[in-house]
Amino acid sequence: MCVSRLAQPLMLLLVLAALAGCASTPPPSRPRGPDPYFMTMYGPQPNEAFPLPATDISKVDPRFLRQQVPYVTHEPAGTIVIDTPNRYLYLVQGGGMALRYGIGVGKAGLEFAGEARIGRKAQWPRWIPTSDMVAREPERYGPLASGLDPGLTNPLGPRALYLYQGGKDTLFRIHGTTEAWSIGNAVSSGCIRMFNPDVIDLYNRVPEGTRVVVIQEEPPMSAAMPPIEAPIEAPAEDTPLAF
């Protein structure tokens, strides 16, 4: 039986439509959320003196999350290197590797630079703004001049590492933060802030006396570092703390 020339195009269209119906349609792509590994790392910590909720990392650039990375440096293992321009804190591990943490740093003109030692470590420290902070922003810091007790609203967070030079407190610290969004930015009054789980992790890894190198533009001269044997003057209970 012959098929008319007019019917041939119609049959071809029907065959193509049938074939298209057999093809599978790919499922719609789903937006990727935070890696479960990091979700666990930054999850709640109920065993703290003040139980910490999970840190919201949903909008955090993954490069600022804690991770082991290759790192070439002349500094020995155990040294903390703070790369201010790139917003990283490295704990040198040796073998060309380091543990890298994202940080928030001081605003222009308020940065700390040079070398120091961790002269004191504190869990859930009390915080008092410095007189300079109160003078600079009286509306913000004036009502807090008497200080804040430890807790979830304390600007220093769950841990603080106090930087000393020549045995004296510099009033600069490495500490936690109530503002997780600030990691990766220059917003603090000069101190180095970290995600709360990260500062707890760092606190547990380094002892008092650990050498800290803070880089702004050019690496500081090692010769400027006072000897570790220099006596460290312990601050009073309510020594003003920069953050």
Cβ-based neighbours of 144, under 8 Å, separated by 6 or more = 129
Q: Mapping DSSP to helix (H, G, I), strand (E, B) and coil, where does residue 214 land?
A: strand
Look at the block and give the residue holding tokens 């990091």. 38
Please check whether residue 149 is in contact with residue 196, taking contact to mean a CB–CB distance below 8 angstroms: no
CB 149 within 8 A of CB 209: no
Contact 86, 166 (CB under 8 A): no
CA-CA distance, 150 to 130, in Å (whole number)?
17
Active-site position among 2, 22, 74, 191 = 191
**Catalytic residue (choose from 2, 22, 74, 175):** 175
Phi, psi dihedrals of residue 18, rounded to the nearest 5°: -65, -40
What is the b/e burial string over 109-142, where b = at least 16 CB atoms within 10 angstroms of the residue's CB? ebbbebbbbbbbbbebbbbbbbeebbeeeeeebe
Residue 120, classed as helix, strand or coil, is strand
Task: Verify whether residue 175 is a known catalytic residue.
Answer: yes
| Closest by CA position to 158, among listed 190, 180, 131, 141 | 180
191 in catalytic set? yes
Provide CB contacts within 8 A for 60, sequence distance 6+: 34, 102, 180, 183, 184
Where in the sequence numbering do the catalytic residues fall?
175, 191
